[in-house]
């Protein structure tokens, strides 16, 4: 049986403007791979309601589960929660359960639970809350879409809250073989090994060293360790060190 | 007049499997921002022909220009060129101009211009070649889609070849103000400043410091420096250091 599939939607201008290097995509990709869920697509869109709504609808329909990051804070450019409600024809308002969490948090810290902070309790009516042990303001899930914060420490905490609720597939095993030759020398024998093991996914990731020399990391992925080792042995025989 | 828009398509399993941290997205975003082209969307898809073709068609129709990275090498998992041809109903074969470039390169290096390497001369019939001063194998453009390599040093060289051919918009100016308070305290006054300057784009990028304290970088973007400075002065007055 094929593994469950997933997509990620990164919301906000940080990456599109070149201001920030991605961190959340890298984290989620590793976590999902670890539990046998295949991340098949990532989209990055700006803080633009029609773009967010269209992406949520397309990804929700196309994959078993979807994970979003960004746009659920208290500022004017945080529009993700309203877009999720719109994408699923759901209503949205400040919800009592989320408000109670936040009220207790700000009371404890002696901070004003002002109008901006109350925006973080705006949650679609049909949503289930996602626990945020770092900064309390919850994420939420509507149908197969998990809505999480963009701040990396909070995103990671929410992913940790969500992972135990997901049903993974067979854990993917991967082995790596570095070959210090150009891909043009590697491609022929590599293609033959790839054709011999159709159950495995064999990828070639070329690199250029500081001295200008080319090489490639050959990554063999699959769920059957014996088969992976057999393919690895074939590759080692084709490319003696 | 609004700036020209762009999208990027990252092709390959490296990022989706969590193997590699993105570098090309970050580079392209900065280069486009610098010449006044607004990067509006990024998609990452795996080495899967239907997924690549659908994404190319959607992005080509939706934005002024599209930039792809990855999948144009000599190995079996390099299927981008064929997918681009399919996306535009174009034919594809080894092309004389690309073959001549590569033949001369491998003759010079005394390397075999084997069948795998000849795959890198497979270029759609309607394409214009993109110069690759790093490793010779060319990228290419079909209509508004620029097809480039995934190896970061080669990707950067191809972007440098392409940039002078693009028509940018008004160069975007951005100013940054760091405020060491939680977004919940920032949001009210920030929203007022945002409403006062509808021509500017004002974003709040929250962070958490190592000591647990929250803050945010407020980024003001626009094309009118005087207006940006006025908004900055309003923000400084609202949040004295």
Task: Quote ipTM for the complex.
Answer: 0.91
Q: Do B191 and A13 touch (CB under 8 A)?
A: no
Of chain B residues 5-64, which have a CB less than 8 A from chain A?
Answer: 12-22, 25-26, 28-33, 38-48, 51
List CB contacts of B3: < 8 A, sequence separation 6 or more: B36, B37, B38, B168, B169, B170, B172
Q: Do A153 and B208 touch (CB under 8 A)?
A: yes
- Min mean pLDDT across A166-170, B44-48, B208-212 is at B208-212
| Token pair in block for residue B193 | 């400043």
Give the architecture-level CATH label for domain B173-238: 2-Layer Sandwich (3.30)
Residues 116-175 of chain B with CB under 8 A from chain A are: 116-117, 119-120, 134-135, 150-151, 153-154, 174
For residue A223, the distance in angstroms to the closest alpha carbon of chain B comes to 14
pLDDT at A86: 98
Measure A89 CA to nearest chain B CA, in Å.
Answer: 24
Q: Mutate which of B2, B6, B19 to disrupt the A interface (most A C-beta within 10 Å)?
A: B19
Q: What percent of chain A has pLDDT over 70?
A: 100
Interface test with A, best of B8, B44, B69, B118 (most A CBs within 10 A): B44
Query: Quick one: CATH architecture of B5-165?
Result: 3-Layer(aba) Sandwich (3.40)
Domain boundaries, chain B: 5-165, 173-238
Joined together, the tokens standing for residue B16 give 């989706």
Integer Cα distance of B43 and B54 in angstroms: 11
pLDDT band at B207 (very low <50, low <70, confident <90, very high): confident
CA B14, B18, B19, B22: dihedral to nearest 10 degrees?
Answer: 60
Question: Which candidate from A194, A206, A221 shows the least CB-CB separation from B151?
Answer: A206
What's the sign of the alpha-carbon dihedral A164, A166, A169, A172? negative
Question: Is A40 close to B45, i.e. CB distance below 8 A?
Answer: yes
Which segment of B14-18, B29-33, B116-120 scores lowest on mean pLDDT?
B14-18
Residue B208's pLDDT is: 81
pLDDT tens per residue, range B77-115: 999 999 999 999 999 999 999 999 999 999 998 889 999
Q: CA B198, B202, B204: angle at the middle one, nearest 5?
A: 150
Tokens of A162: 């969500």
Q: Which residue has the higher pLDDT, B241 or A115?
A: A115
What phi-psi label fits residue A49: left (phi over 0), alpha (psi between -120 and 50 degrees) or beta?
Answer: alpha
Partner-chain contact B205 A154, CB within 8 Å:
no
Tracing tokens 């990067």 back to the chain, one arrives at B39
Q: Kindly state the helix (H) or strand (E) to which residue A122 belongs, with its residue range.
A: strand A122-124
Contact criterion met (CB < 8 Å) for B187 and A120: no
pLDDT at A213: 84
Determine contact: B208 vs chain A, CB below 8 A.
yes
Convert B183-214 to b/e letters by CB count within 10 Å (16 or more is b): bbbbbbbbbebbeebeebbbbbbbbbeeeeeb
Both tokens of B82, joined, read 């064929």
């Amino acid at each position: 049986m094929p593994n469950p599939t997933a997509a990620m939607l990164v919301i906000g201008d940080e990456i599109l403007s070149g201001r920030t290097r991605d961190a959340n995509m890298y984290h989620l990709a590793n976590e999902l791979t670890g539990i046998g869920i295949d991340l098949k697509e990532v989209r990055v869109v700006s803080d633009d309601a029609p773009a967010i709504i269209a992406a949520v609808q397309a990804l929700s329909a196309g994959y078993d589960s979807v994970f979003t990051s960004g746009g659920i804070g208290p500022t004017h450019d945080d529009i993700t929660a309203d877009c999720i409600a719109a994408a699923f024809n759901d209503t949205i308002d400040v919800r009592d359960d989320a408000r109670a969490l936040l009220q207790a948090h700000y009371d404890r810290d002696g901070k004003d639970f002002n109008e901006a902070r109350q925006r973080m309790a705006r949650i679609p009516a049909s949503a289930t809350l996602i626990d945020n042990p770092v900064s309390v303001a919850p994420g939420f899930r509507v149908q197969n879409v998990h809505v999480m914060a963009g701040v990396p420490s909070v995103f990671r905490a929410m992913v940790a809250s969500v992972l135990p609720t997901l049903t993974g597939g067979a854990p993917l095993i991967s082995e790596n073989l570095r070959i210090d030759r150009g891909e043009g020398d590697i491609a022929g024998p590599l293609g033959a090994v790839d054709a011999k093991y159709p159950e495995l996914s064999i990828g070639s990731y070329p690199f250029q060293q500081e001295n200008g020399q080319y090489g490639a990391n050959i990554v063999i992925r699959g769920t059957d360790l014996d088969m992976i080792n057999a393919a690895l042995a074939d590759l080692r025989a084709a490319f003696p060190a």
